[in-house]
Each structure stands twice: as C-alpha cells, then as structure tokens.
Structure 1
Amino acid sequence: MTGFSRIVAALLVAVLVGCDRGAAPEASTPDAGSSPSTSAPSAVPDSLQIDVAQLTLIGFHPFATDSMLERDEALATILDDFGYHLSGAMTALRDSGWVVDTRIADTLHFRSSGRTWTWIRPADSVNVGYILTDSTGRIRTLFGVRTNIDLVIVADSFARGSRR
C-alpha cells in the first residue's frame, strides 16, 4: 500500500468511524445563501447530519478508489496533498476549539439547537475544499487544497469573526 493509499484509507476510516466529533480570497466565499432555517424537521437521515455545537471545519472531497487514483495522477496528487495538509492542521485547530472532520460529499447538512442549514457544492467549482461553520449557521467555503498554515490562519480569522 503506497503512502497515498494509507492517507486515503485513514481519511475514509475517520469518516466512517465519525472522527473526533467533540487562503486566497478569490477561492473562498461567505456563502450568504447557506443560512440556518428553523423549518420542520429535516428529511435528511441523522447519520448525514453534522451537529455543530462549536467552531467546525469540514474537509470535503470526492470518492476515489485505488484504481481511479492509479488512472488519474492529478486526482491522486490533489487528494494526497489534501490529506497531508488537513492532518497537519488538525492538532492546532483542535487545540483552538475546532471540531475537524472530513466528508466524501457534494452536499453537507448541518444542525444546531433546532436549526438546520445545507451547503451544496456549486457544479462549476473544485470538488475538494473546506467548510468552516459555527453554531449560528455562519459559513465560509474554501475551494481547493490549502496548506496546513493557511487552514489555521483562515480558521483563526473565522473564529475571531464569530466572537464579535
């Protein structure tokens, strides 16, 4: 098993097990359309809901098998870099009060204190990135792979904005 395959396998295991639930401006958006709602209970299964009780960073990426990665060297490199930098930022983010998780998804469903909100990846966007959110439903999207230092800096900026 290659180093990349081990990282992908570790990310997949983290997603399946539930992974500790407890920056270029042009590639990020404030996502004004992803606001919380207090509508009727969601039809989304509980297993797909992401509970947000504190600052939360979700890394998202596409599903990829080993055979897909062998055929697509660019995707393999992107996912390898994605896993490397996210894992490199995890300790600093968690020490700063962030919940960090990964999802293989184009749509993410969040909930907090009876409110729900949904983020849908735009069809014309990169299929790898990060969602930063908090219990108020504020959300920011970063598309593409970011370095571990970039992730910590953007997360710190987002956190300071949530304390105003």
Structure 2
Amino acid sequence: MSAMPSSKLAPVRRIVIGHDNNAHSTIKYDSQLMSEHLTMGVEVKTLWITDTFPANTNIVGDPTESHSGFMAPGSLIRVVDFPPQSQGATHRTVSLDYIILVKGSLVHWTDDGSTTTVNEGDVLVQQGTMHRWDNNTDEWARIVCIILPATEPVINGQKLGDDSHSIGLS
C-alpha cells in the first residue's frame, strides 16, 4: 500500500499575539505549522490550546508543545486537511465543535445514515455526535475546528461517551 500524499493546500501560518514585560502587545509566535498524520491520510495542525475556561491569557510558552490527545480541558483550535477521494474514520468526541469549511467540499455523515454536503464558507455546529467526514472530490479539503469541552450527551438515560480512538490522534 502506498503512502497518502501530503496536503497540497497552503501551509498554515500561526501568529500568536501576547504581551511583553512592559504590557505592550507583541508577536509571541509567527511560524508555519507541521502536520500530524492521522488515519485515512488526514493531516491535522493544532494552532492553540487552553487548559481552562475562561482562558488564561498569561500563558508562558507554547501550550501545543506539551499537549497530547484529541481533547483539551479548555479550548482547542485545529486545522484539518482531508485528501481527495477519502473516507474518514467514524468517531464521537464529548465536545461542542464549531467547524468552518474553508477550502473544498466535504460530506458530513451521521450514524442515522444522513449525509450533508458542506461547502466553502459553511459552518457546522456539532454537539457530541457520532460522525465522519468524507472527501468525494479530486481536490484536498480543509476545515478549521474550534473544539470546546462539553457534558456527555445523554439520550433516554444512556450516556454517549467518547469514541475517538479510530482517528489516530495521539
């Protein structure tokens, strides 16, 4: 089996603004981010993470350097690239996700069998649901995900917990 090609989309540049010791605004980080490769050829770039809500704006250092796992106790923002003609892994996270499709077109699948085509500029709000992303086109697609921790969905007394092991994010 051959390796999936790397994303052909523009690199992601992360610019983080904070304060210097004189309380002036300053650029703390300005760099292109490397991808972490997941299952199905999907590439993810974690831009920023917070470990509290409300967020602590006095963070020293880059919180993405010591983070592992799919979720964060505060907020998390990621860019995810999907290769052409790919089917994503079905999963659920206990989170509230705001997802903006910024390039291409994807099909969002839910476990009741529903599919929704999501196009550039569309925003999807996901509330701890079982789902997957499919790219049925010949072009790479990119989403930006803002992920917030949430309570477990409870349907008819049944708790619907995390089921994200199939994604392959360490």
Q: Where on the TM-score scale, by shorter chain, does this alignment land: which range?
A: under 0.3
Q: Write 1 or 2 for the structure with the bigger share of strand.
A: 2
Q: Write 1 or 2 for the structure with the bigger share of helix.
A: 1
- Could you state the TM-score of these two structures normalised by the residue count of structure 1? 0.23
